Structure 1
């Protein structure tokens, strides 16, 4: 019998089992085609909302933000951080997921960042904070409420969302299928490009960092995701609860690491509802 995910200890796994247990692309048949579909729909959405694309927040090529304005004046903004294990993908593949929040009068900003190995994980986290500071300064002139800025992200973007919660401009968060303890990553195939050492891993693991009891956070993961990923989210939800920080934790039944994102693309999706719930509390 397969042990429940909460009984898993990554340290007891063979190298092959650990690597496989973190390989979302290999675990989901047709995931490459799904991402291609995201890119096509995102390109269409960028064309439809092209007024504020590629706002430069820093000196490097990927230091850019796309701002998509909802129909509501002085609306809150969701900052979305893309995934790809900090070494793949770009913000432009994820524009389609702005559709759900925007249908409810929420602006969406998508942030890019330098990928590993060109940047260390610590440098990536610093870029996200720089981008948040820049965006917060621009929101009034973009017709948005600078005091209602919420972060969200998928996969590696879920990790960066948790790190972004330490920024004073971020008032809440919605993290999707994230990584919150970097130690298994450090011991896996993913570290070839990331180059994490133990000290950097610990400094950037949300599981080991204090939380802010004033900021609500929703944590979600697919019920059909890899057990190690489900455990990461459950463990971090427990960490926030023990720290006295507001947290919503939910596994979405039947969704895998890629199909879970449909719940943000849809105006009636479960993650869109979580975004609305967090935004209403900030």
Structure 2
């Protein structure tokens, strides 16, 4: 019988168990092919919305934002891709703009430099720089500059939570994120990330003071227990501190299929995004 995630303590796990407990790609058969499929559908969507691609916000090659316009004077969702801060790119995730755009929400997808070329702390700084740049350009892009919210999947869920500290971000929807970096620091993932304890603590949303911006936190019911625990614990942290939070497990969804709920205009994550935007 599988141990309930509420009873898990990553510190008690063997190195092998901790590593496998964080390895989403190995846990979901066919995940590589699934992500390749995302890339193909995303290329098709980029071809249909090519007017504002690769807007530069910084000097590095990945310091680029794709802006997909849904409607004039509309709110904007900034989407932050995942890949444990060391894999993938924004170009694989354009297809997920379809759900929000169907409801008149602009979508901006941000790229960032991957580890080990930069530290996780530098990645966080790039996200903030990108937000500042985008916020300064929303009016010229024909968007409502006062309504900018963030969302992200996996490592992007972590970066979404860190982005909540930016004055331009009014709310967030974090999907299957990491909110305590200490398990990451002790796992195979730290070979490229190079976290030390101080950097881990400075960049763990569970250990930071947060303002009262609304957040929705979601995770798949079929995800790895350590990932489900991360989301549940962060939701409990926000509730304890009387911070606005929606917490929901999506039944049957794994770490990859959960994104179907954003690709669809009727998907649960699309609805969460709409609910957060209505509150800002």
TM-score band by shorter chain is: over 0.9
Deviation at 1:211, TM superposition (A): 1.2
SS at match of 1:19: helix
SS at match of 1:146: coil
Deviation at 1:244, TM superposition (A): 1.2
Deviation at 1:111, TM superposition (A): 0.1
* d(CA) in 2 for partners of 1:192, 1:223: 29
* d(CA) in 1 for partners of 2:117, 2:3: 38
* d(CA) in 2 for partners of 1:87, 1:104: 32
* d(CA) in 2 for partners of 1:144, 1:175: 23
Matches within 5 A, 1:33-182: 33-70=33-70, 72-182=71-181
Matches within 5 A, 1:190-229: 190-213=189-212, 215-229=213-227
Is residue 6 from structure 1 mapped to residue 6 from structure 2 by the alignment?
yes
* d(CA) in 2 for partners of 1:197, 1:231: 22
Structure 1 segments, 4+ long, off by >3 Å, are none
* d(CA) in 2 for partners of 1:245, 1:140: 30
Runs of 5+ consecutive residues of structure 2 not aligned to the other structure: none
Runs of 5+ consecutive residues of structure 1 not aligned to the other structure: none
Matches within 5 A, 1:253-272: 253-272=251-270
Deviations 1:169-201 (A, max 9, x none): 000000000000000000000000000000000
* d(CA) in 1 for partners of 2:194, 2:3: 31
Aligned length: 280
Deviations 1:85-132 (A, max 9, x none): 000000000000000000000000000000000010000000000000
Deviation at 1:2, TM superposition (A): 2.1
Deviations 1:131-166 (A, max 9, x none): 000000000000001110000000000000000000
Deviations 1:198-229 (A, max 9, x none): 0000000000001111x100000000000000
SS at match of 2:32: helix
* d(CA) in 1 for partners of 2:61, 2:238: 35
Query: Over aligned residues, Cα RMSD in angstroms?
Result: 0.4
* d(CA) in 1 for partners of 2:263, 2:122: 29
* d(CA) in 2 for partners of 1:4, 1:155: 21
* d(CA) in 2 for partners of 1:241, 1:170: 20
Number of the residue aligned with 1:186: 185
